[in-house]
Amino acid sequence: MRRLRRGPAVPDHVGSAVAGRLLATCRGADGIWVACTRDAWWAVAPDGSATSLPWERIHRADWDQETATLRVEPVAEYGAPVQAHSFTLEEPGALLDVLRERVTASVLVQRRVDLAQRRGFTLIGRRPPSGAGEVTWAYELDPGIDPDDPTVVAAAERALGEARESLGL
């Protein structure tokens, strides 16, 4: 067991599976451990297998207090459905604050583009919170917006070009 300043003692298989210094951890009701490091979010199963997402690849993380459920949505490719991860957490403690801070720190630019009747998309540019690495771009489409519609594609390309220019990329 390894003791942390911001979370419970973690079993050795968690510390071994996670790359980087643990900032916050929480045990899930099903034995899965959720952990935060400087560079990524991690989920470690009881058998030691691990899944991770760099902070800039997390689109959204939502906490439902009533059900004690954390839902983490990765950034999906343009127009692809989102495959979320859900965990019931026993006592999230500082994990939720670290998660929010790290995801927020990865956002460089966020631009809303309205197409018709207040529906459209949001363009989000992200980079690792460390500042090193490439900027990645994602689009959050409103319900009913067709990613294959030529008008939407043109607006998305135009928004991306303007955002890159504003960042000097």
pLDDT digits (tens, 9 = 90+) for 29-42: 889 999 999 999 99
User: Can you give the pTM of this predicted structure?
Assistant: 0.80
Between 65 and 76, the more confident residue is 65
**Where does a domain end: 65, 87, 105?**
105
The mean predicted confidence, pLDDT, of the chain is 89
Are 79 and 44 members of one domain?
yes
pLDDT at site 103: 92
pLDDT at site 93: 85
Q: What is the pLDDT of residues 121-130, one digit of tens each?
A: 999 999 998 8
Q: What is the pLDDT of residues 144-158, one digit of tens each?
A: 999 999 999 999 999
Are 72 and 125 members of one domain?
no
**Where does a domain end: 74, 105, 136?**
105
Are 40 and 91 members of one domain?
yes
Are 46 and 89 members of one domain?
yes
Are 114 and 94 members of one domain?
no
Q: Which residues, 6 or more positions from 104, have their beta carbon under 8 angstroms from its beta carbon?
A: none
Domain count, the chain: 2
pLDDT at site 1: 46
**Which residues span the domain enclosing 148?**
107-167
Are 48 and 128 members of one domain?
no
Q: Which residues, 6 or more positions from 1, have their beta carbon under 8 angstroms from its beta carbon?
A: 9, 10, 11, 12
